[in-house]
């Protein structure tokens, strides 16, 4: 576990623009909207014959994943390549860190290769912040998920998906269901939704999967699925993170599905125009039934598509912020 200080002290440059993207907490509505607007400009690239722009041409992006993730790694790699960057995927399990090399040693080695950006995924909360504090100036750090702390690009691709299907955030009731306790995604989603001004944020989970004092984040807490779904405009299901559970927090997966799994029958309690999301990977028959995941209300595949655009936006904005900081220091 890494200690974290105020992230915006290092996350923003002198002009208030991103130079790292570590957490959504503390960022302004204007910054989040800029990310969404920038991502919108990239989202239709997949339909073009040439799917590249030269914004990161000549830059080297290192995907530094200390924790496995197929979907996040793939979309970051594709996003970097569509920005014309050179990409290095570092397999930590076979790297020198498994031979006793410290994290600082690994960073210094990568910096000596003149890397320009680190995309970091780590099982310990605060790891991305730690790296951003110790990395060489002008190297951007993007948090691809750290412990239970934050997953800011996942939250922003979720915000993009909501905005493209619902428009204005202000009137929405958004319900987040599942393993709130272990979910860095839920924390980042809550901060983003609150900053973007949604009418109401709800969390639904058994008591054993709710963090203490979760109400302090500005959410309404429900332990009964039907009550939490009532008139909801957006329902976000979360994966049961069994690998993070250190004790028997659930009687069984079957019992969880019975009470908290999203089915078409339970979805009838939500608004007639409700949309359904899930950050993946999906445990069918545990968090959600296939009829919902593959149904007309599901935006799960849209989330994957939007994830590439959001990560392109964050990477290009952070590199631009780093360059602006570098130019400022050169002028001084």
pLDDT tens by residue, 137-153:
889 999 999 988 999 99
- Residues 88, 60 contacting (CB under 8 angstroms): yes
- Do 146 and 251 lie in one domain? The reply is no
Q: Nearest Cα to 39, choosing from 4, 82, 99, 73?
A: 82
Q: Which residues are known catalytic residues?
A: 71-72, 99, 121, 151
Look at residue 328 in the predicted model and tell me its pLDDT.
Answer: 56
In a domain, 2, yes or no: no
Residues 234, 287 within the same domain = yes
Based on the fold, state whether residues 134 and 252 are members of the same structural domain. no
Structure-model confidence comparison of residues 271 and 321, the more confident one: 271
Angle formed at CA 101 by CA 147 and CA 6, multiple of 5 degrees: 40
Residues 158 and 193 in one domain: yes
The answer to whether the annotation marks 212 as part of a ligand binding site is: no
- Cβ-based burial of 204 (10 A; exposed 0-12, middle 13-18, buried ≥19): buried
Could you list the beta-strand ranges (E) of 9-160. 60-65, 86-91, 117-122, 140-146
* pLDDT confidence tier of residue 249, bands split at 50, 70 and 90: low
- For residue 266, the model assigns a pLDDT of 98
Q: Give the mean pLDDT of 39-59.
A: 88
Bigger pLDDT: 123 vs 82: 82
Q: Are residues 311 and 281 in the same domain?
A: no
Please report which confidence band the pLDDT of residue 45 belongs to, taking 50, 70 and 90 as the band edges. Answer: confident
Domain around 83: 8-150+305-331
- Annotated ligand binding at 20? The verdict is no
166 annotated as belonging to a binding site for a ligand: no
Q: Is the separation of the CB atoms in 303 and 160 below 8 Å?
A: no
The count of structural domains within the chain is 2
**Cα separation of 204 and 212, whole Å?**
14
Which CATH number does the domain housing residue 117 bear?
3.40.50.1370
Answer yes or no: is 154 a known binding residue.
yes
The residue that leads in pLDDT, 123 or 167, is: 167
DSSP code for 262: B
pLDDT at 93: 56
């Amino acid at each position: 576990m890494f200690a974290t200080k105020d992230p915006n002290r290092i996350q923003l440059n002198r002009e208030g623009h991103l130079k790292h993207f570590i957490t959504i907490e503390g960022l302004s509505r204007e910054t989040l909207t800029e990310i969404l607007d920038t991502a919108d400009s990239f989202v239709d690239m997949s339909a073009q014959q040439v799917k590249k722009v030269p914004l990161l041409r000549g830059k080297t992006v290192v995907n530094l994943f200390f924790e496995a993730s197929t979907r996040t790694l793939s979309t970051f790699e594709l996003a970097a390549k569509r920005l014309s960057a050179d990409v290095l995927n570092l397999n930590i399990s076979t790297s020198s860190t498994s031979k006793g090399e410290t994290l600082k040693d690994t960073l210094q080695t990568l910096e000596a290769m003149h890397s320009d950006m680190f995309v970091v995924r780590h099982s310990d909360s605060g790891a991305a912040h730690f790296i951003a504090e110790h990395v060489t100036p002008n190297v951007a750090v993007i948090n691809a998920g750290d412990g239970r702390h934050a997953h800011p690009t996942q939250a922003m691709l979720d915000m993009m998906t909501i905005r493209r299907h619902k428009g204005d955030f202000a009137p929405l009731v958004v319900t987040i269901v599942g393993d709130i306790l272990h979910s860095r995604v839920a924390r980042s989603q809550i901060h983003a939704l609150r900053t973007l001004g949604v009418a109401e944020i709800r969390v639904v989970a058994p008591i054993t999967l709710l963090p203490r004092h979760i109400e302090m984040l500005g959410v309404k807490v429900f332990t009964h699925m039907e009550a939490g779904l009532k008139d909801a405009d957006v329902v976000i299901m979360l994966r049961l993170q069994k690998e993070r559970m250190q004790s028997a927090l659930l009687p069984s997966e079957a019992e969880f599905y019975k009470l908290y799994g999203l089915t078409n029958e339970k979805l009838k309690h939500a608004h007639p125009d409700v949309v359904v999301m899930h950050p993946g990977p999906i445990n069918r028959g545990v968090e959600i039934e296939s009829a919902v995941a593959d149904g007309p209300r599901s935006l799960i595949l849209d989330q994957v598509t939007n994830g590439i655009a959001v990560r392109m936006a964050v990477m290009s904005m952070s590199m631009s912020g780093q360059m602006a900081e570098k130019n400022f220091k050169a002028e001084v």
